[in-house]
């Protein structure tokens, strides 16, 4: 249907989160029917994003600038750092507009089953800067791995910065819940209702 180019496009789109083969076919058909107004701009935007976007060397966010727009923002409190598992969590929290500091992306959680150990997480820059910070907010999933990671990271932070206030979001985050699937109101409540660890 449509030739190998179209099959390949549908196959690639169908692997994206939220899209299956059926949605991918519909999207591709819509683009093919309006190649100049829909397909060409999308192709150009994908190429531009793929060329420009990189991992922020300070926090681990994905952005076309390094440091990213959040790390480079002079209005934000650089000493208040919210630690998240992934960029999706960062973008979800950022959407709420509730956090006035910056972020730090771990790149996952400790996981015995998943084979993720301390060396697999991005913590070096966080631990190096820890004694200059005013507060660290741990915004990790309410899962066993999230809790294990929070305990482990708290221990590491206490070693380099014993006085540093460390808080955890929790209120409103259901057990087993990943942050990036929560609605904005729940995330806002979780961030505001953080408590000391």
Q: Note the residues at the interface with Zn ion (CB under 5 A).
A: 56, 58-59, 61, 67-68, 71
Classify residue 60 as left (phi > 0), alpha (psi -120 to 50) or beta.
left
- The secondary structure of residue 34, as a DSSP letter, is S
Angle between helices 87-96 and 184-192 (to 10 degrees): 90
Distance, CA of 174 to CA of 38 (rounded, Å): 40
User: Cβ 110 to Zn ion, closest distance in Å?
Assistant: 23
Q: Choose among 135, 79, 142, 155: nearest CA to 109.
A: 142
Query: The dihedral of CA 39, 45, 51, 57: what is its sign?
Result: negative
Nearer residue to Zn ion within complex by CB, 60 or 172:
60
Nearer residue to Zn ion within complex by CB, 38 or 65:
65
Nearer residue to Zn ion within complex by CB, 58 or 169:
58
Distance, CA of 64 to CA of 61 (rounded, Å): 10
Nearer residue to Zn ion within complex by CB, 63 or 145:
63
User: Cβ 138 to Zn ion, closest distance in Å?
Assistant: 18
Nearer residue to Zn ion within complex by CB, 61 or 141:
61
User: Cβ 109 to Zn ion, closest distance in Å?
Assistant: 20
User: Cβ 67 to Zn ion, closest distance in Å?
Assistant: 5
User: Cβ 61 to Zn ion, closest distance in Å?
Assistant: 4
């Amino acid at each position: 249907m449509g030739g190998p180019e179209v099959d390949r496009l549908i196959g690639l789109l169908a692997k994206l989160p939220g899209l299956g083969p059926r949605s991918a076919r519909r999207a591709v058909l819509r683009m093919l029917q309006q190649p100049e107004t829909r397909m060409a701009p999308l192709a150009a935007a994908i190429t531009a994003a793929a060329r420009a976007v990189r991992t922020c060397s300070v926090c681990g966010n994905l952005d076309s600038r390094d440091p990213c727009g959040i790390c480079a923002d002079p209005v934000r409190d650089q000493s208040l750092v919210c630690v998240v598992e992934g960029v999706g969590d960062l973008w979800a929290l950022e959407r709420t507009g509730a956090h006035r500091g910056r972020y730090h992306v771990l790149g996952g959680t400790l996981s015995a089953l998943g084979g993720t150990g301390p060396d697999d997480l991005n913590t070096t820059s966080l631990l190096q800067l820890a004694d200059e910070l005013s507060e660290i907010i741990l915004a990790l999933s309410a899962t066993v791995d999230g809790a294990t990671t929070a305990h482990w990271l708290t221990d590491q932070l206490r070693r380099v910065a014993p006085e540093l206030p460390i808080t955890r979001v929790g209120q409103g985050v259901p057990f087993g819940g990943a942050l990036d699937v929560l609605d904005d109101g729940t995330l806002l409540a979780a961030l505001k209702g953080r408590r000391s660890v």
